[in-house]
Structure 1
Amino acid sequence: MSSAPRRPVSRDRVIDTAIALADEEGLDAVSMRSVAAELDVVPMALYKHVDGKEDLIAGMIDAIVSRYPAAPAGQDWRDAVRGRVLGARDELGIHPWLRTAIESATRRTPAVLAYMDALAGEFAAGGVSYDLTHYAMHALGHRIWGFSPEAFATSTGDAPPPDPETVATMMRTYPHVVAIAQASAASNPSGACDEDAEFEFTLDLLLESFERLHRSGWTSGSVASPRPGS
């Protein structure tokens, strides 16, 4: 009795396998060797389909970005932009490794450019000038991919709460920082920041500002001024 024929390896299958591996074990687990092992082939067999690890990661990003939801036809441009950005954020919840992959990417692939073009197109469809759209895209920054990087961000995990003496010292030395932390803890019983709420707050704040500038006829030339010493 003959065994079932082996399923052929393709670029799509290599990338899907890498995504599944990253979903389960994280992006660091993805290598040409580990993906080849999952496919039960030698690593060299993958080079027929991807140029190397950088191309593999780019393909993984493309596969997810191409799934970002489009805005419903006829939707207001603010809602359309908001929906696309929050759709990108939803994918981060499904694929936590995606943020690291995007942050470390060095080239804009066709799928990445297509998403950026579609997002810019939502502004344009609402009559927003390309001048303002340019500045708006920069202001959104990484938020178009669903995340907002912060300096000195740390993961608290299951760290024990600070002892009373440390808290007292912090309150004397950094009273406003402590007050913010206390207000956040009071708002969120878990004691952690509500990252989704904070993300949406900033996104809505930016969109409201973009609309106000659009209605006022804003142009970059009207605010540009030389810096001291330039």
Structure 2
Amino acid sequence: MTQQAEATRRIPLNRERVLTAAVVLADEAGIEALSMRRLAQELGVVPMALYKHVANKEELLDGMVDVLVGEIDPPARDTGWQSAVRLRVLSARKALLRHPWARQVLESRTSRTPAVLGYMDSFIGMFLAGGFSVDLTHHVMHALGSRMWGFTQELFDDSAGSAPAGNPPTGNAPAGQEAMLREMAQRYPNILQVAMAANHDDGSVVSQGCDDQFEFEFALDLLLDGFERFHRQGWTSERAKLER
């Protein structure tokens, strides 16, 4: 064991160190590898020592989300609401992409920590500060959904059994893939045409080849432009009109 490792083990254990180690472990080994026992081994302590700082694994995961929230930039100052929201969402996306486990853990949370509530509160505050009504802001937040955290469910997902987008069959393609694409062309021609229309990036995680970042920002900008149009029109929901 190196002197550096021994020195690290002698650092007093606290909640911040536990959460940081959990994030590093999940980043490197995957969220499935994260357990209280494995984390204790990484920290060089007995598992019971962790429970002084986190009550259980659920609280550990909540704390890891708090670490993620801490990596998101605060709202930009001296700029309009649209730019502030856009920058905040893209900062959240950068934080999310740094941690492959983050989306899965975010979607699994059944309670919200003060850090998460604080993020949501300040996010809503950007719209209110921009002059949005409470009514419009309510519906805006529904429209944004998980995009405020930097992710969204994608339409063209290989797990749905569709043909790989952006990869037309070639002479070297397996016969099974060519047969599948022929069947797709006959049964679902519009899906196939759209899914294979764009130039794609092989490093994508949206669909095989789709440019994740472009698609994310494209949809975000559409939403923000729509919000601005409704804001300028003084839009009010029918329910809010009835409550007046």
TM superposition score category, shorter chain reference: 0.7 to 0.9
Q: Residue 63 in 1 paired to residue 63 in 2?
A: no
Report 1:78-97 matches (<5 A).
78-97=82-101
What SS does the corresponding residue of 2:10 show, helix, strand or coil?
Answer: coil
Structure 2 counterpart of 1:165:
179
- State how far apart, in whole Å, the 1-side matches of 2:115 and 2:144 are: 19
Q: Residue 34 in 1 paired to residue 51 in 2?
A: no
Structure 2 counterpart of 1:212:
229
Structure 1 counterpart of 2:200:
188
Does the CA contact (< 8 Å) of 2:184 and 2:192 recur in 1? yes
Does the CA contact (< 8 Å) of 1:124 and 1:130 recur in 2? yes
Instruction: Show structure 1 runs of 5+ residues with no match.
Output: 226-230
Structure 2 counterpart of 1:200:
217
Superposed CA RMSD in Å reads 2.3
Cα distance change, pair 189–58 in 1 and its aligned pair in 2 (3 A): closer
- State how far apart, in whole Å, the 1-side matches of 2:239 and 2:66 are: 38
Cα distance change, pair 108–189 in 1 and its aligned pair in 2 (3 A): closer
- Which has the bigger relative contact order, CA under 8 A and spacing at least 6? 1
- State how far apart, in whole Å, the 1-side matches of 2:76 and 2:45 are: 43
Structure 2 counterpart of 1:53:
57
Hey, which bits of structure 1, 4+ residues long, moved more than 3 A? 150-156, 159-163, 222-225
- State how far apart, in whole Å, the 2-side matches of 1:103 and 1:140 are: 15
Structure 2 counterpart of 1:178:
192
- State how far apart, in whole Å, the 1-side matches of 2:158 and 2:179 are: 22
- State how far apart, in whole Å, the 1-side matches of 2:189 and 2:144 are: 31
Aligned residues: 219
CA-CA distance at 1:164 after TM superposition: 2.6
Cα distance change, pair 32–107 in 1 and its aligned pair in 2 (3 A): same
- State how far apart, in whole Å, the 2-side matches of 1:176 and 1:224 are: 40
Counterpart of 1:196, as a letter, is: Q
Does the CA contact (< 8 Å) of 1:66 and 1:115 recur in 2? no
Measured against aligned partners, the alpha-carbon deviations of 1:91-147 in whole angstroms (never above 9, x if no partner) come to: 111111110110001111111111111111111111111111111011100000000
CA-CA distance at 1:166 after TM superposition: 2.4
Cα distance change, pair 192–151 in 1 and its aligned pair in 2 (3 A): closer
Instruction: Show structure 2 runs of 5+ residues with no match.
Output: 1-5, 168-172, 203-207
159-168 or 204-213: which moved more? 159-168
What SS does the corresponding residue of 1:28 show, helix, strand or coil?
Answer: helix
What SS does the corresponding residue of 2:153 show, helix, strand or coil?
Answer: coil
Cα distance change, pair 96–183 in 1 and its aligned pair in 2 (3 A): same
CA-CA distance at 1:151 after TM superposition: 6.6
Report 1:137-148 matches (<5 A).
137-148=141-152
- State how far apart, in whole Å, the 1-side matches of 2:87 and 2:201 are: 28
- State how far apart, in whole Å, the 1-side matches of 2:25 and 2:123 are: 30
* TM-score (normalizing by structure 1): 0.88
Counterpart of 2:191, as a letter, is: V
CA-CA distance at 1:152 after TM superposition: 8.2
Structure 1 counterpart of 2:16:
12
- State how far apart, in whole Å, the 2-side matches of 1:224 and 1:100 are: 39
146-155 or 38-47: which moved more? 146-155
- State how far apart, in whole Å, the 1-side matches of 2:88 and 2:16 are: 24
Does the CA contact (< 8 Å) of 2:81 and 2:126 recur in 1? yes
Does the CA contact (< 8 Å) of 1:62 and 1:109 recur in 2? yes
188-197 or 80-89: which moved more? 188-197
Structure 1 counterpart of 2:135:
131
